[in-house]
Structure 1
Amino acid sequence: MEASLWRVFGGTRGGANRARLFRAVEETPRNTNRLATDLELDFKTVSHHQEVLLDANLVQRSGDHYGAVYLPSELARRHSETIDSVFEELGFDDR
């Protein structure tokens, strides 16, 4: 799991935005539009990073289409300590 987290969050420039998105849905599940507004990111940017997080099974989608809400997956909840550790090492954690 740790290697996968490093790839998703530390392997590219987008890792910081993915970490912000992950923390945001961890705090309060939200749809793409709300995330874009709350994080001051472009809708397409948020949508792209959500797909990366979905592919990595770190978030799940509840609902369909525009109103779909994103929240942490069961896998992410089980590995929350590892996620916290990786974020801390990458300097992404502001908790």
Structure 2
Amino acid sequence: MEKALWYLLAGTRGGENRARIIESLDERPRNANQLAEHLEVDYNTIRHHLEMLVEHNVLEKSGADYGTMYFLTDKFEHHRDTYDQITDNME
């Protein structure tokens, strides 16, 4: 998970948006449309980042299609200190 977080947040161009998505989902679960509105980011961009975060086990989803809700995984929570270290260096 640590390597995945470094890659997703610090190693690629979308790291800042991914960190914003994680912060938003830390407040409460949301679907892609809610995230796009809340973060003022294009829906398709949000969908791309969500797919990457799910693929790397940072997020899990519940539901189907349009109403799919996204949650932080327990695995991510176990490595939150790494996330904090990375995002502290991003600011």
- What's 2:83 paired with? 83
- What's 1:65 paired with? 65
Q: Give the Cα–Cα distance (whole angstroms) in 1 for the partners of residues 3 and 57 of structure 2.
A: 14
Once the 2 structures are TM-superposed, how far is the Cα of residue 77 of structure 1 from its aligned partner? 1.0
Query: Which structure 1 residue ranges, 4+ long, deviate > 4 Å from structure 2?
Result: none
Partner deviation per Cα, 1:45-92 (whole Å, 9 max, x = no partner) = 00000001001100110111110110101101111111111111222x
Q: Give the Cα–Cα distance (whole angstroms) in 1 for the partners of residues 12 and 79 of structure 2.
A: 21
- What's 1:23 paired with? 23
Q: Give the Cα–Cα distance (whole angstroms) in 2 for the partners of residues 16 and 26 of structure 1.
A: 15
3-state SS of 1:17 partner: helix
Q: Give the Cα–Cα distance (whole angstroms) in 1 for the partners of residues 30 and 4 of structure 2.
A: 24
Gaps in structure 1 of 5+ consecutive residues:
none
Aligned length: 91
Name the TM-score, length of structure 1 as normaliser.
Answer: 0.90
* Percent of aligned pairs sharing the same letter: 41
Q: Give the Cα–Cα distance (whole angstroms) in 2 for the partners of residues 25 and 70 of structure 1.
A: 7
3-state SS of 2:61 partner: strand
Q: How large is the RMSD of aligned CA atoms in angstroms?
A: 0.9
